[in-house]
Amino acid sequence: SQTIHQWPATLVQPVGSPLSLECTVEGTSNPNLYWYRQAAGRGLQLLFYSVGIGQISSEVPQNLSASRPQDRQFILSSKKLLLSDSGFYLCAWGPGLAAYNEQFFGPGTRLTVL
C-alpha cells in the first residue's frame, strides 16, 4: 500500500530564516505531487504541483519554491521566511491525471514564523 511522509511535524522559525520541508511517497511510481498551504481558519491553497522529476508548476507567486529531485520526493523551500508564511503545509500525491483520481494527503507540517 502507498504511504506519504512529511517532516518535520511542527516547526518554529524566526522571520528571515530559511525553510526546507520534505515529503516522500512510498509504494507507487511516478506520482503527481502537490504542496498545499492552509492558513489559520482558512481553506487549502495549492502552492505547487509536479508531474515528474524536475517538473514544477507554481500556482501562487510567493517567496517559496519547490523541487522534485527524485521520483517520490518533493521539497518545499524558502530562503527567507515571512510572518505570512505561517500555516499548515500539506503534501499530497495522486496516481494520475484523470478527473476521477483521488489525492492522498500527508500528515502535514505546522509552521510558525515568529
Is residue 26 at the binding interface for other proteins, with CB under 8 A as the rule?
no
57 binds other proteins (CB under 8 A): yes
Could you say which of 49, 64, 74, 111 contacts other proteins (CB under 8 A)? 49
The candidate with the shortest Cα–Cα distance to 113, out of 19, 3, 21, 33, is 19
Q: 107, 6 in Cβ contact below 8 A?
A: yes
- 92: contact with other proteins by CB under 8 A: yes
Pick one of 8, 16, 27, 107: the residue that binds other proteins (CB under 8 A): 107
Q: Residue 11: exposed, middle, or buried by beta-carbon count in 10 A (0-12, 13-18, 19+)?
A: middle
Residue 27 interacting with other proteins (CB under 8 A): no
* Interface region with other proteins, contact rule CB under 8 A, candidates 14-22, 60-68, 69-77, 89-97: 89-97
Q: How many CB atoms lie within 10 A of CB 79?
A: 11
